Structure 1
Amino acid sequence: MEVEQVLHMNGGSGKASYANNSLLQQKVISLTKPMREEAIASMFLRILPTRLAIADLGCSSGPNTFLVVSEVIKLVEKLCQELKHESPEYQVFMNDLPGNDFNNIFKSISCFKEKLSNEIEGGMGPCYLTGVPGSFYERIFPIRSLHFVHSSYSLQWLSQVPEGIENNKRNIYMAKTSPINILKAYYAQFQRDFSLFLKCRAEEVIEKGNMVLTFLGRRNEDPSSKECCYIWELLAQALNDMVSEGMIKEEEMETFNIPQYTPSASEVKSEVIKEGSFSINRVEISEVHWNAYNMNSNYFDSKCAFLKSLSDGGYNVTNTMRAVAEPLLVSHFGEAFIDDIFYRYRKNITEAMSKEKTEFVNVSISLTRRA
């Protein structure tokens, strides 16, 4: 599997699109807002740049795409008004892999600028947006060009499926039944990838520039714990059932693996310290229910979200996962059984949610580029 070619969220605006199934990611962005505001304010007040370069890595496409950019500009304009400082020019880079629906982003730019301008009393500085397709595990920006880098729910994705995991039988990810070499291979791939990410950003971020990164992660130090692996184990169950029924070939199942690693906070901090280019300002751990429309959540997007919370949680979670995983499954198994896979996956998810607590764990870290 060439991850860079097949890893992207479902594009468009259909029922299974990321645009219509990204409330969970929106809630995570909302949870990490205080950390971002602190990082942006401290950076801006230190530097007071006339040009402010912002990069959102793994921006995807849909209602969340401009959330953080809008937040950054509003905060900076507020600071400028308080300081009676001239607004900077904003240079915004939206990055994702080439398969991302960049066309949808470009079509939305005019509306985004108009809406943002109307929301900021007194106006704002000029804003220039650029789409940047490419892997963030390589250099994608000029040296010392960025003031603030943001990434949410993207860095858990690996640059490739780890090598040497052929003996991970009946699993598609790390699991309790995975041999120890599987867990080690996944962790080693995460270490290589995240270290490379930090090295590349260290060349691109200016001195005293900031980054805020949020990973889908875990509290538990056990990489095969249910809090990070269960959602994929339920998909593996669906695929194994289809193998047993002769719908999917066993060799196809055995060669399908999810290119993801959900790190603990200590693993994230360890790589930052080891690479050495950034100082750690703050690390936070938060949780969000699998069902983004869960009634018990403290956050509701709208009245519509509240009403959807009363509906089938298994359906909601399955659609969220389908928006993320469908391109990977189609590239490996083809389209013929996709609906059947997600029908079975939904049944497994619904049953799991009826029996136990189901939450995603988020690891967020705020960093400053060392001198």
Structure 2
Amino acid sequence: MGEASYANNSLLQQKVISLTKPIRDEAITCIYKERLPQSLAIADLGCSSGPNSLFTTCELIETVETLCREKTHESPEYIIFLNDLPGNDFNSIFKSVEYFKQKFSSQVVGGVGGQCYITGVPSSFYGRILPTSSLHFVHSSYSLHWLSQVPKGVEKNKGNICMARTSPLNVREAYYHQFQKDFSMFLKCRATELIKGGRLVLTLMGRNSCDPSSNESCYIWELLAETLNDMVLEGIIKEDKLVSFNIPFYTPSPSELKVEIENEGSFTLNHLEVFEVSWKAACGDEELNDNNNCGYRVGQLMRAVAEPLL
């Protein structure tokens, strides 16, 4: 809650969701046309809380309802699973469900279908979270760059809080191996939960560079690390606290993603795209030309993400 909350500082994430709409639309259209299901099960993994939590669900339902009108089909039943870690504010999501359902009821084609059932699933998606062959479509945005845990063996990453340019080679290797383990497990679990022919659309922070410690991956965390090191020098925080603090965060390259998908073997890769989003996407339209306000908004975005970790 409040001005510094994630719910009030997630405009950048919403713009990323909007950018990837054509890919989601194509995927949900394919699965609907192939199966014509009476009941359509959709999971949003890493749904968080705030205005983005049901944003994707609304768009997916609108796409399917457009198809229903074009083909004069009755609306299917929609079963929506919203997943995040148990500490997520599911209560705030559930409070917004009534408004969502009112909007939903004005869109559906009608008939015996056209109902929407929403369930919260508090659990880590780096394991099984739903029954076998229970899903048609899985979506995840801005979540899979978070690892399941801080990698083991990063104790000597002194002065840093994540993989950085000054991190030893063993720290870089530890982060990469943790990503490989987590992403492979994610794919394996989703393959079991999806029906045959189901679709999976993932959006995550990544990098173009082959170097995992390049600026596009680590710069924002290096700025925060500089600040924390200054706070150690000023006696505000203890050095051993900083030394023991590392963030479970990894931004893969396209080739790394492709290799893991091929090695795990459950999915066919239909589309892989890299696109850039400016930090200014965190700012409202009225703030874009005001550097002070836009800088403040980017700071608030990082605070909303980093403060709970700290």
TM-score range, shorter chain: over 0.9
1:343 is aligned to: none
The answer on whether the counterparts of 1:293 and 1:306 sit within 8 Å (CA) in structure 2 is: no
User: Paired residue for 2:99?
Assistant: 111
The DSSP-based 3-state class of the residue aligned with 1:207 is strand
SS in 2 for 1:92: strand
Matched, 1:170 2:170: no
Q: Distance in 2 between matches of 1:68 and 1:129?
A: 13
Paired position in structure 1 for 2:29:
41
Deviation per CA, 1:142-169: give whole Å up to 9, x if none.
0000000000000110110000011111
1:53–1:91 Cα contact (<8 Å) kept: yes
Q: State whether residues 59 and 65 of structure 1, in contact with CA within 8 Å, keep that contact through their aligned partners in structure 2.
A: yes
Q: Which residue of 1 aligns with 2:247?
A: 258
Aligned counterparts, 1:100-249, within 5 A: 100-118=88-106, 120=107, 122-123=109-110, 125-249=114-238
What amino acid is aligned across from residue 57 of structure 1 in structure 2? Answer: L
Partner AA of 1:56 in structure 2: D
Q: Is structure 2 residue 287 aligned with structure 1 residue 308?
A: yes
Measure how far apart 1:276 and its partner are. Answer: 0.3
Distance 1:255 1:313 in 2: 32
Cα pair 1:191 1:271 within 8 Å, conserved: yes
Counterpart among 264, 272, 290 of residue 275 in structure 1: 264
Aligned equivalents of 2:193 and 2:108: distance in 1?
Answer: 32
Spell out, residue by residue over 1:28-47, the C-alpha distance to the aligned partner (whole angstroms, 9 max, x if none). 00110111111110111111
Identity over aligned pairs, percent: 63
Q: What 5-or-longer segments of structure 2 have no aligned partner?
A: none
The one-letter code matched in structure 1 to 2:286 is L
Secondary structure of the residue aligned to 2:295 is helix
C-alpha deviation, 1:195, in angstroms: 0.4
Structure 1 counterpart of 2:302, from 298, 301, 321: 321
What aligned pairs does 1:22-33 form with structure 2 within 5 A after superposition? 22-33=10-21
User: What is the TM-score when the length of structure 2 is the normalising length?
Assistant: 0.96
Task: Tell me, in whole angstroms, the C-alpha distance in 2 between the residues paired with 1:293 and 1:92.
Answer: 28
Distance in 2 separating the partners of 1:47 and 1:282: 21
Please tell me whether residue 97 in structure 1 is matched to residue 85 in structure 2.
yes
Q: Deviations over 1:168-191 (max 9, x none)?
A: 110001111111111100000000
Give the 5 Å matches for 1:48-63: 48-63=36-51
| SS across alignment from 1:189 | helix
**221-230 or 74-83: bigger deviation:** 74-83
Q: Distance in 2 between matches of 1:228 and 1:312?
A: 24
The gaps in structure 1 that reach 5 residues or longer are: 1-11, 295-304, 330-371
Q: Following TM superposition, by how much is the alpha carbon of 1:117 offset from its aligned partner in structure 2, in angstroms?
A: 2.5
Decide which of 82, 87, 97 is 2:75's aligned counterpart.
Answer: 87
CA distance in structure 1 between the partners assigned to 2:247 and 2:256 by the alignment = 20
Do the aligned residues in 2 keep the contact of 1:272 with 1:278 (CA within 8 Å)? yes
Superposition deviation, residue 121 in structure 1:
6.5
| 4+ long deviations beyond 6 Å | none
The answer (yes or no) to whether the contact 1:92–1:127 under 8 Å persists in 2 is yes
User: Structure 2 CA distance, aligned partners of 1:170 and 1:313?
Assistant: 28
TM-score, normalized by length of structure 1? 0.81
Describe the superposition over 1:269-317 as per-residue Cα deviations: whole angstroms up to 9, x where unpaired.
11110000000010011111112255xxxxxxxxxx2223224222111
Q: Once the 2 structures are TM-superposed, how far is the Cα of residue 77 of structure 1 from its aligned partner?
A: 1.0
C-alpha distance in 1, partners of 2:280/2:309?
Answer: 22
> What amino acid maps onto 1:324 in structure 2?
V
| Deviation for aligned residue 1:87 | 1.3
One-letter code of the match for 2:257?
Answer: V
1:65 aligned counterpart, secondary structure: coil
Offset of 1:122 from its aligned partner?
4.0
CA shift for structure 1 position 19:
1.1
Deviation, 1:116, is: 2.7
Q: Deviations over 1:14-70 (max 9, x none)?
A: 011111100000000011011111111011111111110000000001111111111
Q: Distance in 1 between matches of 2:272 and 2:4?
A: 33
What residue in structure 2 maps to residue 15 of structure 1? 3
1:77 alignment counterpart: 65
Query: Displacement, 1:83?
Result: 1.4
Q: What number of residue pairs does the alignment pair up? A: 306
In 1, Cα distance between equivalents of 2:121 and 2:307: 23
Q: Is the 8 A contact 1:292 1:316 kept in 2?
A: no
Hey, what's the Cα distance between the residues in 2 that align with 1:319 and 1:325? 10
